[in-house]
Structure 1
Amino acid sequence: MEKQGHSEMESILPESHSYIKLLTINRELLVTHIHNTQCLVDNLRENDYFSAEDAEIVGACPTQPDKVRKILDLVQSKGEEISEFFLYVLQQLTDAYVDLVPWLLQIGFSPSKLIQSKAVVNTDPVSRYTQKLRHQLGRDSKFILCYAQKEELLLEETYTDTIVELVGFGNESLGSLDSLACLLDHSTGVLNEQGETIFVFGDAGVGKSMLLQRLQSLWATGQLDAGLKFFFHFRCRMFSCFKESDTLSLQDLLFKHYCYPEQDPEEVFAFLLRFPHTALFTFDGLDELHSDFDLSRVPNTSSPWEPAHPLVLLANLLSGTLLKGAAKLLTARTGIEIPRQLLRKKVLLRGFSLSHLQAFTRRMFPDRALQHRVLEQLEANPNLCSLCAVPLFCWIIFRCFQHFHSTVDSFLQLPTFTVTLTDVFLLLTEVHLNRTQPTSLVQRNTRSQAEAYQAHLATLRSLGQVAHWGMEKNLFVFSQEEVQASDMQEGDLQLGFLRAVPELGLEGDQQSYEFFHITLQAFFTSFFLVVDDKVSTSELLRFFQEWAPPGEAAATSCSPHFLPFQCLGDSGLAREDPFRNKDHFQFTSLFLCGLLSKAKQKLLRHLVPAATLKRKRKALWAHLFASLRAHMKNLPRTQYEGFKQVQAMPTFIWMLRCIYETQSEKVGQLAARGICANYLKLTYCNAYSADCSALSFVLHHFRKRLALDLDNNNLNDYGVRELQPCFSRLTIIRLSVNQITDSGVKVLYEELTKYKIVTYLGLYNNQITDVGATYVARILDECKGLTHLKLGKNKITSEGGKCLALAVKNSKSIFEVGMWGNSIGDEGATAFAEALRNHPSLTNLSLAFNGISTEGGKSLAQALRQNSSLRIFWLTKNELNDEVAESLAEMLEVNQTLKHLWLIQNQITAKGIAQLADALQKNTGVMEICVNGNLINPEEAKVFEGEKRIVCF
């Protein structure tokens, strides 16, 4: 025998393959690390190795180590086969005997075919609890619970991916996620290695809850990380059901209020505490957390056994004070921020792109002819299609038209007129109300929308009363008593607006309810405020008070609400914008504007006395105008290259949405008059294509020329189409990072060449190919005043590059061209070289990261010998070598006007850099040549320390 290893996990292996000897030699190792004896006894009995008497003998032992010793004594006394089977059980049940996995690998245990044919029964508590969790989550995630109640929509048949984007601390894009499994990947998008929480955010309806439901389904079917043994899903709104005095331990929160282990809960909890990295926690809707309990004054709790308020447990789980190392995924609506020290990743959901929308249409309308008709009609109505960028609204629209297609007419006709969000929710309500109407093939339901609302006015009032009560208190879950207090009937609950809360235990055995989405609660709140005659104008405007300037808001607001980020250790965070983080209030205000609009008076006159309606409309419009003026007055302004620039906030987007909802040209004109700037900056406002409809509704009344910066939003091609009324005013158009394809660029070409006033066109980081590049080239040809063109990080190859280069060559006005991150290669570079020769105006050019190598690099160098306009030239991240460096050096002896040359991250060695340095002896114009990231080491770089214009590191 030979001694191996230096730790208790290493063993003495016998020369012969005697399993009895192996157990003898490693007896104390096994006694120390086997904690589950019952699982061993169960399997030994199941395979007739142990008798009932043997099991009784083991059970009579007073301590766990004694039980292990007795099992070993009995096993070894019965021979080699049972000893081998004993090891086989340890190998197969890794959850139960996790500490022995390294030892089993070390000894190279490989069971015989006879032993492999034996059945191993997993009675380990951890494994059984994992199975129970998988069953529960599989059941709960099978159907789409968050949108539908009466219809059984299978998640697998309905779920469609959306745009999921990794972002930085400042919400700058870090690239899209390829799959949901990548959310948990430790190699991508990590902002803070010490952070515990993956933070997923996005606007209401973009699919945050659906994403979590999909994750649950993937884990339940074993398609997520195999190392995850626990998945705990909580919705933050449920924590509001606990009383301020309630306390419980972490174990009780997980087991009694989520899923209870069928056996040995202490052992399961001990495993979780010991291996927290095997658990995934998801918390949905931080913004829906409400309490009057000020957690900023509560100390942290690091003990998993010490009782604390559930909100304290939530905060400490997210921070990692409890169960450090467990994966925690938290969702919230746009505007909520959590402290940076908690963040591991930030993930932004942007809703449907055009391709996602097409995929969802195929799922919702399997019949190909119908599917084709729907897509055709969506294409004909960009306004409606823009609303469909938000998955929830898309689902509502499609379900409504499915309903009408099946019950009214065999021909499905989507509207061709302008559709507002209020129209969509009115239609949704009508569809749900008509469920109670008998239908047959002989007699169709032909009652109008007004008749449907009249017939169910009592029901709608009751729903509105519940919704309004919750909205005032920032609550989204209602007890049975609260629902009954509104005089709601049992039949009303069957309409599908309210659904039973899936979680059990938080309110004992009493049933709780919630609206199927927060936007529906907002709709019924506004409906109640409009139709209830007892609602005063001050109560009507309650949620508009959030728009008031900070001082005024403080004087008129109701009692302060609990801010969810206080419990995360950031209680000193100032609320610069009082309207942030409360888009349930914003939706309520938006629906108020829609319901009180002129277009809806025909419907409402059957539900509300005319005098009441007039009084409420007058009060709303007066307050809307005052709010808009106050907001615009307080926006920060700067001077920018001759423009008066205003940095608009997301609140401005909400105001535009409300103004658009009125569909009043007079309101649009007054709003346009209030914009006292000619450069609107709306970057990072999370604007959707539908917001372009609202923006155009106001801006087409703006009589002066205008600059519009919409970079880093989610506009897509439909947003570009919705901007058409504005193009006659726009001189600067920035649409970078907006999911725009060639189709959107075609619209830009058609519109911009009508007016020929554009000077700046920004389309960086979109999805433009060579087809789109030809349209951009035509814009450059026809718009003689275009000075700036940004096309970096698209999908343009040499063909598109050549087309653009020719347009640049012919332009007498172009000042700056950005082509970073395309694939124009040497052919495209050669074409740009031709454009550079004797160009009169091009000053800044970026061809970085374009796959340019020797041939293209030399062509550019030679062309620059005949250029006196270019000042800045970026060639970073290409494949330029010493041969190109030599050509550039020769060029520098002639060209005295180039100021900045960036050759970062190429393939130039010290030899090439030496040639560039030598050329600088004859060149006084160049201010810097950046060559860091090339094939040069620090020792070689020391040679060039005397030439300050050569930047090596």
Structure 2
Amino acid sequence: MREITSIPPTLGLEDLLFNGYSEPDEDKDEVLQDMKSHSDNVTVIFDGVTELSSLVVKKLVEKDLLPDAKIIITCRPDDEEDLCPEDWLRVEVKGFSEETIKTYLSTTLGDDHREVLSNVELMTLCHVPMYALMVAASFSSGDSLQPRTVTEICINIVRICLQINSNKPRIKNLNQFIKTKANEILSLAEAAFYATQRKTVNLEELSCDDSCVLSFLKQLDVKVAPTETRTVYAFLHYTMQEFFAALWLLKNPDKIREVFQQCLTEEMKHMKHLIPFMCRLLIEKSPCLMSCLTPAEELQETRNWFMEEMIDTFSTKADDNELYVDTLFLCQCLYESQSSEACVYFLNKLDFYLDLSGEDLDPHSCCAVAYVVTQSKERKINLNLEDVTVSEQGMKQFFGCLQNVEWHDSLPLQLWMVVLLSEGQTECAELLHLCKNDLHLPVVESSCKGQCLSLLGSRRYGLQQSV
């Protein structure tokens, strides 16, 4: 779909298949007619969709064209509701298991993979295959500093790529070199920002021609007519495009509040993905990047208001005066920032009550929540885990922060439900210890009770049934 987004919305099926994608060796009219006559034998895969901007793509998805064809769409979970009809089969890629992460890292990093395995934050990131690749790339550079967040990994990769493509591999002062490339980097960042706003991966009006900076991009030659092609550029991965877009937004702080408000709308909610990057880029910490692109006093002015205003924006009161909080998103932002002060401000705003009910938490989300909870030194957190789904890796993060959690009556039941419905069973013994060998289960969930009792074997524990 990186190439498809460049094709005019009025494109027909024939051009989509044979000009936008690939032209068959035999007569294309015959092939097209065969596809229409036997559409039940056709499978069309749209990979990495952000929106259905093309009319012909929309018609294929809605089965107005090739009605019996199998249509497969891959997209981010955030885009799913806008792209797929409700009656479609939904498959979610859960990512790498802990064992797969170890296999992948040992294959790519050799003995160095043990450094990643000892870093809990990086392990939780690696369940996403793309982040596992980025972690491996970051460690392959030989840098002794271990990144903890997605933003730090992106910073490392940008710095490594600039050094490699500078034709000066032995640069002693990389920060100074980045400063000499600031205008070119920010020019690319501006193109990334406006492309992200449009929900496209193709960069338009790219004025940067510096080969070192353009090394982040892939060149695409798109066929627009039988004898004419147009060259466009795209980032190697959408995550890097959003990262560069965040760079430009921080350089233009007068637009940040406008983007905050846009994120609250259905049409522009995808702009939220820029904000976690901004939270880390503002911090004065090594490895640095933003401080090489903008004066220190400008960054400080933004720091003075950014975190509190960001938290306030995503903690809004609805018409019924009830506070609506995007809890999981804010925890991810706070984790990227690694700011204890911001966490305490957030928890104070919520009166130290974190409502995660109904959330499906991946390991990295659990890592973010656990980080926020552990920043509360003076007061216990009231944690709501009702109907929460957590993987086995994620449960390890939760158990690490429970000493900061208020042990209210419903929490043991919620924890037991989370553990018993998770993929693994290794956390049962630890939870039994935390609950002083009491087992808390709802009366109606007989399947959970049976599963748990089979785990206990012949050992004796107190059983408390909760209605």
Residues 100-249 of structure 1: pairs in structure 2 closer than 5 A: 235=1, 237-243=2-8, 247-249=10-12
The aligned counterpart of 2:329 is 654
Structure 2 length-normalised TM: 0.84
Q: 1:788 aligns with which of 441, 451, 461?
A: 441
Per-residue deviation, 1:538: 2.8
CA contact (8 A) 1:773 1:803 kept: no
The aligned counterpart of 1:276 is 39
Q: 1:356 aligns with which of 100, 108, 121?
A: 100
Per-residue deviation, 1:436: 2.8
Q: Secondary structure of the residue that 1:659 maps to in structure 2? A: helix
The aligned counterpart of 2:361 is 687
The aligned counterpart of 2:14 is 251
Per-residue deviation, 1:362: 3.5
Per-residue deviation, 1:457: 2.5
Per-residue deviation, 1:766: 2.5
Per-residue deviation, 1:461: 2.0
CA contact (8 A) 1:437 1:445 kept: no
The aligned counterpart of 2:74 is 331
- The letter for the 2-side match of 1:474 is K
Structure number with bigger Rg: 1
Could you tell me which runs of 5 or more consecutive residues in structure 2 were left unpaired when the two chains were aligned. none
The aligned counterpart of 2:348 is 673
Seen in structure 2, the aligned counterparts of structure 1 residues 503 and 352 have a Cα distance that, compared at 3 Å, is farther
Distance of 1:261 and 1:274 partners within structure 2: 17
The aligned counterpart of 1:423 is 152
- The letter for the 2-side match of 1:597 is I
Per-residue deviation, 1:725: 2.7
The aligned counterpart of 1:697 is 371
Distance of 1:447 and 1:732 partners within structure 2: 56
Per-residue deviation, 1:727: 3.5
CA contact (8 A) 1:656 1:695 kept: yes
The aligned counterpart of 1:313 is 56
CA contact (8 A) 2:50 2:75 kept: yes
Seen in structure 2, the aligned counterparts of structure 1 residues 469 and 488 have a Cα distance that, compared at 3 Å, is farther
The aligned counterpart of 1:389 is 127
Structure 1 residues 268-296: Cα deviation after superposition (integer angstroms, max 9, x where no partner) = 22221111111110112332455xxxxxx
Per-residue deviation, 1:349: 1.5
The aligned counterpart of 1:399 is 137
Could you tell me which runs of 5 or more consecutive residues in structure 1 were left unpaired when the two chains were aligned. 1-234, 291-310, 554-574, 639-645, 735-756, 817-843, 845-953
- Indicate the RMSD between aligned Cα atoms, in angstroms: 3.6
Q: Secondary structure of the residue that 1:655 maps to in structure 2? A: helix
Distance of 1:283 and 1:277 partners within structure 2: 17
Seen in structure 2, the aligned counterparts of structure 1 residues 792 and 783 have a Cα distance that, compared at 3 Å, is same
Seen in structure 2, the aligned counterparts of structure 1 residues 671 and 733 have a Cα distance that, compared at 3 Å, is farther
Q: Does 1:432 find its partner at 2:157?
A: no
The aligned counterpart of 1:728 is 404
- The letter for the 2-side match of 1:500 is Q
Using the aligned pairs only, state the percent identity.
Answer: 17
Q: Secondary structure of the residue that 1:466 maps to in structure 2? A: helix
The aligned counterpart of 1:709 is 385
Seen in structure 2, the aligned counterparts of structure 1 residues 704 and 429 have a Cα distance that, compared at 3 Å, is same
Q: 2:465 aligns with which of 815, 832, 838?
A: 815
Distance of 1:427 and 1:319 partners within structure 2: 42
Residues 361-760 of structure 1: pairs in structure 2 closer than 5 A: 361-365=105-109, 367=110, 370=111, 373-374=112-113, 376-404=114-142, 415=146, 419-436=148-165, 445=170, 447=172, 450-479=175-204, 482-483=205-206, 485=207, 487-493=208-214, 495=215, 497-501=216-220, 504-505=223-224, 508-531=228-251, 535=252, 537-548=253-264, 575=266, 580=269, 582=270, 585-599=271-285, 604-630=290-316, 633-634=317-318, 651-676=326-351, 678=353, 680-684=355-359, 686-701=360-375, 703-704=379-380, 706-709=382-385, 711-718=387-394, 720-721=396-397, 724-731=400-407, 758=412, 760=414
Structure 1 length-normalised TM: 0.44
Q: Secondary structure of the residue that 1:346 maps to in structure 2? A: coil
CA contact (8 A) 2:188 2:244 kept: yes
Distance of 1:313 and 1:256 partners within structure 2: 13
Distance of 2:20 and 2:240 partners within structure 1: 27
Seen in structure 2, the aligned counterparts of structure 1 residues 342 and 255 have a Cα distance that, compared at 3 Å, is farther
Distance of 1:425 and 1:452 partners within structure 2: 18
Q: Secondary structure of the residue that 1:591 maps to in structure 2? A: helix
Q: Secondary structure of the residue that 2:260 maps to in structure 1? A: helix
Q: 1:802 aligns with which of 454, 457, 461?
A: 457
Per-residue deviation, 1:717: 1.9
- The letter for the 2-side match of 1:788 is L
CA contact (8 A) 2:327 2:354 kept: no
Seen in structure 2, the aligned counterparts of structure 1 residues 386 and 340 have a Cα distance that, compared at 3 Å, is closer
Per-residue deviation, 1:426: 0.5
How many residues matched? 459
Structure 1 residues 303-358: Cα deviation after superposition (integer angstroms, max 9, x where no partner) = xxxxxxxx222122112121111111012211231587563311112222212212
Per-residue deviation, 1:699: 2.5
Distance of 1:399 and 1:636 partners within structure 2: 49
- The letter for the 2-side match of 1:282 is I
Per-residue deviation, 1:724: 1.7
Distance of 1:788 and 1:663 partners within structure 2: 36
Distance of 2:279 and 2:210 partners within structure 1: 29
Distance of 1:256 and 1:438 partners within structure 2: 38
CA contact (8 A) 2:352 2:381 kept: no
CA contact (8 A) 2:189 2:247 kept: yes
- The letter for the 1-side match of 2:115 is Q
- The letter for the 1-side match of 2:67 is K
Per-residue deviation, 1:660: 2.1
Distance of 2:12 and 2:292 partners within structure 1: 55
